[in-house]
């Protein structure tokens, strides 16, 4: 039997200079010329779970309490939990080796049904302003926080991980897998004037480390 091969819905024209195979995904770790930002990183290989229950307070995915209010997020030990509404939360594994899939039927693995991207670095929010009317710099909210709505006309779940008034910072977001190619094209086109470049997972991990540090 041939080995399982998982393919990201995202394809950059640039070829990565460093890759590794992880759980049957070919993961791009670094590109030759990633520039100085802003960056677009494909995270589609990372585990994403959907949790649905009328009693979300009873669940502690990866031993993390689900936030009480829709729009709130909890980031602990490389796991991000986003409260979506009264009965639903999203769980995104950002770093490290994912834990085992919870056995409770309230959880659904949606990793291969969606695309997962990070857009961050200098001028990142000037790019988002061209693609969405959502307020990723809402002064009334502390990062990380979740917004749900259109990004480049596509329904998305979007988390502001870092926000700065000078336009620096960034978001991570998911949408249906079928929009992957069009989404990347729209973001790269919108970010061309700001020098946007594709980057590898190493660049994302460094950014995430600065937020935690």
Distance CA 32, CA 185 (A): 20
pLDDT (tens digit, 9 = 90+) per residue, 171-193? 999 999 999 999 999 999 999 99
What pLDDT does 213 receive? 57
Secondary structure element (H or E) that encloses residue 182, with its range? helix 180-190
What pLDDT does 2 receive? 54
What pLDDT does 7 receive? 86
Which of 178 and 23 is assigned the larger pLDDT? 178
Distance CA 94, CA 43 (A): 8
pLDDT (tens digit, 9 = 90+) per residue, 95-112? 877 777 888 999 999 999
Distance CA 118, CA 157 (A): 12
What pLDDT does 200 receive? 96
pTM, rounded to two decimals = 0.94
- The H helix count followed by the E strand count for the chain is 3, 13
CA angle 149/177/27 to nearest 5° reads 115
pLDDT (tens digit, 9 = 90+) per residue, 150-172? 999 999 999 999 998 776 899 99
pLDDT (tens digit, 9 = 90+) per residue, 32-55? 999 898 999 999 999 999 999 999
Report the pLDDT averaged over residues 204-208. 95
Question: What are the extents of the domains in the chain?
Answer: 18-45+113-212, 48-109
The domain over range 18-45+113-212 is classified in CATH as 3.30.1360.120? yes
Mean pLDDT of the chain: 92
Which of 147 and 22 is assigned the larger pLDDT? 147
Does 73 have pLDDT greater than 50?
A: yes
Distance CA 159, CA 144 (A): 6
Distance CA 141, CA 100 (A): 32
Which of 68 and 211 is assigned the larger pLDDT? 68
pLDDT confidence tier of residue 1, bands split at 50, 70 and 90: very low
What pLDDT does 116 receive? 97
What pLDDT does 167 receive? 67
Distance CA 201, CA 182 (A): 21
């Amino acid at each position: 039997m041939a080995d399982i091969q998982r393919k990201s819905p995202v394809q950059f024209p640039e070829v990565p200079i460093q890759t590794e195979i992880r759980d049957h995904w070919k993961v791009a770790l670094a590109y030759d010329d990633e520039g100085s930002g802003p960056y677009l990183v494909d995270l589609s290989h990372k585990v994403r779970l959907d949790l649905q229950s009328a009693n979300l307070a009873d669940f502690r995915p990866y031993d993390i309490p689900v936030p009480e209010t829709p729009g709130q997020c909890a980031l602990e030990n490389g796991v991000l939990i986003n409260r979506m509404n009264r009965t639903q939360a999203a769980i995104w594994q950002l770093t490290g080796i994912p834990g085992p899939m919870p056995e409770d039927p309230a959880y659904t693995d949606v990793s291969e049904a969606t695309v997962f991207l990070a857009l961050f670095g200098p001028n990142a929010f000037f790019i988002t302003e061209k693609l969405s009317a959502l307020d990723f710099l809402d002064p009334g909210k502390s990062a990380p926080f979740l917004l749900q709505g259109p990004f480049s006309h596509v329904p998305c779940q979007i988390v502001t991980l870092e926000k700065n008034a000078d336009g620096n910072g960034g978001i991570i977001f998911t949408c249906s897998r079928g929009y992957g190619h069009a989404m990347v094209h729209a973001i790269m086109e919108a970010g061309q004037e700001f020098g946007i470049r594709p980057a590898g997972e190493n660049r994302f991990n460094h950014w995430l480390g600065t937020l935690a540090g």
